[in-house]
Amino acid sequence: MRDRGEEQAMRAAIAASEQVRGTTSPNPPVGCVVLGPGGEVVGVGATRPPGGPHAEVVALRAAGERARGGTAVVTLEPCAHTGRTPPCTDALVAAGIKRVVHAASDPNPLASGGAEVLRAAGVEVRGGLLADEVAAGPLRAWLHFARTGRPHVTWKYAASLDGRSAAADGTSKWISSAESRAEVHRVRARVDAVLAGTGTVRADDPHLTARAPDGALLDRQPLRVVVGDSEVPATAKVFDDAATTVQLPGGDPRAALAALAERGVVDVLLEGGPRLAGAFLAARCVDRVLAYVAPVLLGAGPAALGEAGVGSISQAWRLQIEETTMSGPDVRISAVPQER
């Protein structure tokens, strides 16, 4: 039977981890809630930027002596290795924590094994609480990166109800609503990198920055990545001083993602045009689709997706819908590709 207090604490830990998503890479954005012996919340913490303390240490510092005899509820199994910081397992034992409840097990072989270390020290450990919610939430990209060594890629696009990304004359401002565009800027502020192809940069001249509705830059900006061999004017907006930009030659999605992994990039938002999106799908490098479908009919114009390695209906990319919600007048769909 689930402990409702621990379940509520895990949801609070998820919320804490969401607040730091995009600031911790290549480390995971973990959240932790410390409950006192009576079940009351005595400390809340989330992972700080690389080199800073992990979520458990932040929460334990907030709790102080009130943590002794209590429970730590954490979104990821506490680490048992020494990296830039000491093991979180040591901090939990030293603080007198008697019970640890975690959601996801750590797939990183260098850091895993924390549960066993804690049990050996006499701490009761329970795993798997709200694991699915955590795996689909702030830890999604990092868990993928830890398991595969490749950054997690979300393909974001906006299209008309009949699947067009622009009108017949090439105009595309604005298919989606102001509400959807504002949401996309908030998404950009929580990922490590925003990626587009040279064709999109030349045709649309996007900033690829994260901005508020009034146009002001948000506090956190993603790395801007331009992929392709076509020449891009030095005056392109993607090269302004609002954020760092890197250019990656060639059109191989896996090579581009490998280069980004070496830079510590874990979470990528793909915003390229239909050809680049198709190339990433064909290379099996799309891990999530985030679609904004507007109640607009165009009848002609470029499709949202280009060639994607589909020659017949049997080869179609089948998706599992995770969530369908409204974004202003638009329908926002989050889906993940099924095995093919």
Judge whether 290 and 333 are in contact, CB under 8 Å: yes
The Cα–Cα gap between 30 and 59 comes to 11
Measured CA to CA, the distance from residue 14 to residue 72 in angstroms comes to 13
The CA-CA-CA angle for residues 89, 94, 36, to 5°, reads 95
Pick the catalytic residue from 6, 18, 40, 56.
56
Residue 224 in tokens: 């801007």
Residue pair 277/244 in contact (Cβ under 8 Å)? The answer is no
Asked if 231 is an active-site residue, the reply is: no
Coil, helix or strand for 309? coil
Side chain identity at residue 285, one-letter code: C
Sequence letter at residue 288: R
The per-residue DSSP string of 91-153 comes to HHHHTT--EEEEEEPP--TTT--HHHHHHHTT-EEEE-TTHHHHHTTTTHHHHHHHHHSS-EE
Catalytic residues: 56
